Amino acid sequence: MRRWRDWLPGLQRRLALPQTSLQLCLLGMLGGLIAAVLIIIFRLAIVALQSLFLTDADDFSTVDPEIVWLLPLGGALLIGLIALITGYRHYRMGIPFVIHRIKTRYGIMPFRNTMNQFFGGIIALVSGFSVGREGPSVHLGAYGASTVGRYLQLPYNSVRILAGCGIAAGISASFNTPLAAVIFVMEVVLREYRIHVFIPIMLASVVGALATQLVFGHDRELASLNIVAINIWHFPYLVVCGIVFGAVAFLFNQNLMRLIRLVKNWPLLIRLALAGSVTAAVGYLIPHAMGAETGAIFNAVNNPTDVQLLLVIFIGKLILTIFALGLGVPGGVIGPVFGMGIVLGTLLAIVPAIFIGDSSTAGTYAVLGMAGLMAATLHAPLAALLAVIELASNQQIILPAMVVIITAYVTTVQFFNNKSIFMMQLDFMQMPYKLAPADDILQKVGVLALLSKEYVVLHNPDDNAVRQQLAQLQPPVQLLLKRTEGDITEFVAASYDVSLSLGGDSAIHYQNVTGLSHQATMAEVFALLEDERDGLVYIYQDSPTEPIGVIRWDQVRSLLIKQNNLL
């Protein structure tokens, strides 16, 4: 135990620096393993419960029609009960909330919120709601990995990276797409590419994928699709398909946000009851549209030329997804987008099938539909491309996928002015997700990296003792006065004030000093000293009354000038 205490401070100081390190890589892998275990338990619970009444996982068309409509109604009731137990104020969910916590709370997730996502997500997916498992998986991954950093009391800049590791491992464990998971975290969640962040996140994603493969095998969900190479004459039509995907993404995002705005003041239980009722009604008529994406894949594979069935499934899935997510059912948007994209792509494959006389390209167009709709809906073109490559396990899909993704993304942005569904939700909920340039730089450096030991502490001194000590100090050594009255302890910085001495008053300037935890980053120091552009803060570890060092304003300024000349 003593060796552990001796070793930990060195680790904390090391991780305060924004540098690639073996220690951070190992911790990222540990966080990824914890996240993967949570997601595996989450998935196994869903599979076990669905096996009680489903012949094939996520295929609700095999359920007795008399039971289908009861599932979402009962599920909505249980989700509401879980929300009541965990507390409504802990009900914020989905990837948008995780993005907000990454930017403002270094990825530390509330425990009750995570429990809500775990149990609520299981019930939602078992009950047939059209939501994806990646939403709860991202929550669980961020919580599991960031808990490692919190337990070790690591600097918050490294806790944020560990949260990213957990998210990557969670997505990788959900879809068995390790590379796409890494790019999704960098492109959508962190919204930055830095090598010291990239490496541990990549390792965590590998751990997530390996853990998933040990439990669920190497099979991918798109393995049943027959993906064939398509001739170059398909490419003009692929541009048309991309335009369709961009337009559909716009309609989906706009209608989802319209519903969210409409019900924003409704009680949660009423919203969940409505979501259950709509899912029960539509599911009774179109059970193929229920669930996440697997059922849609199954029906697209088995009915590639049935226009009426595919169109009904697409419309039904669009309605169910909008009502489930818009009314607050716990779950993600990526899974349903995959399902809708696959069905829509299969529908669009019917046009070239008429000319070539067979439907052999249906599987290829299904995968392209998934990629195009994901890129346009989430504004994640690179992640969409890599997801397609990994899920399809076929390099022949790369060129057509790039054409579809680019066209869909440009269409939805340029012609429809469509934003990412995540950013739209964050803007509506007024949850900040953007950082000022200075904060963006300073959040990446922990206070331990610049901790100064050049200070002297005097306990309850009088003015004479302060003057004597100041006369002996040499800059940049700081003088801290520790003043204790009863149970209250405060720190004051003492220094010479030339302007006061010229006026004949006391030449000593006193300034209150605020303490910060050793886990804080330079962004918190900047927030405290920004107004005065002067002074210092003290850093503590075990007790707020026992400083372990100080950070001066000139250190903050030097860091900003060195990084980006922001001051």
Is 355 part of any domain? yes
Q: Are residues 162 and 278 in the same domain?
A: no
Is 345 part of any domain? yes
Q: Which of 429, 457, 474 finishes a domain?
A: 429
Dmax over CA atoms of the chain, in Å, equals: 100
The pLDDT of residue 566 is 44
Q: Are residues 142 and 272 in the same domain?
A: no
Which domain does 131 fall in, by range?
Answer: 2-222
Q: Are residues 447 and 465 in the same domain?
A: yes
The pLDDT of residue 2 is 55
The pLDDT of residue 504 is 47
Q: Are residues 542 and 487 in the same domain?
A: yes
Is 364 part of any domain? yes
The residues pairing with 456 across neighbouring beta strands, listed in sequence order, are: 479
Q: pTM (2 decimals)?
A: 0.91
Q: Are residues 384 and 240 in the same domain?
A: yes
What backbone phi and psi angles, to 5 degrees, belong to 522?
A: -65, -15
Closest alpha carbon to 387 in 406, 362, 403, 367: 367
Q: Are residues 388 and 537 in the same domain?
A: no
Q: Are residues 217 and 268 in the same domain?
A: no
Number of domains the chain is built from: 3
Write the DSSP string, 468-522. Answer: HHHHH--TT-EEEEEEEETTEEEEEEEEE-HHHHHTTS-SEEEEEE-EEETT-BH
Is 387 part of any domain? yes
pLDDT of the chain along its 567 residues, tens only?
456 567 888 899 999 988 889 999 999 999 999 999 999 999 999 999 988 887 777 778 778 877 888 999 999 999 999 988 887 655 566 789 999 999 889 999 989 889 989 999 999 999 999 999 888 999 999 999 999 999 999 999 999 999 999 999 999 988 888 999 999 999 889 888 888 899 999 999 999 999 989 998 877 666 667 788 888 889 999 999 999 999 999 999 999 999 999 998 899 899 999 999 999 999 989 888 888 877 667 776 677 777 888 899 999 999 999 999 999 999 999 989 998 999 999 999 998 888 877 778 888 999 999 999 999 999 999 999 999 988 888 788 899 999 999 999 999 999 999 999 999 999 998 888 888 888 888 999 999 999 999 888 989 888 888 888 888 888 888 888 888 887 888 998 888 876 655 454 457 888 889 999 999 999 999 999 988 888 899 999 988 889 999 999 999 999 988 866 444
For residue range 461-506, what is the model confidence (pLDDT) as tens digits?
888 888 888 888 888 888 888 888 878 889 988 888 766 554 544 5
Residues in the chain: 567
- Give the CATH number for residue 160: 1.10.3080.10
Report d(CA 505, CA 431) in Å as an integer.
49
Q: Are residues 448 and 420 in the same domain?
A: no
Closest alpha carbon to 285 in 252, 315, 324: 315
- Give the CATH number for residue 511: 3.10.580.10
Report d(CA 21, CA 450) in Å as an integer.
18
The answer to whether the beta carbons of residues 287 and 68 sit under 8 Å apart is yes
The pLDDT of residue 359 is 75
Is 437 part of any domain? no
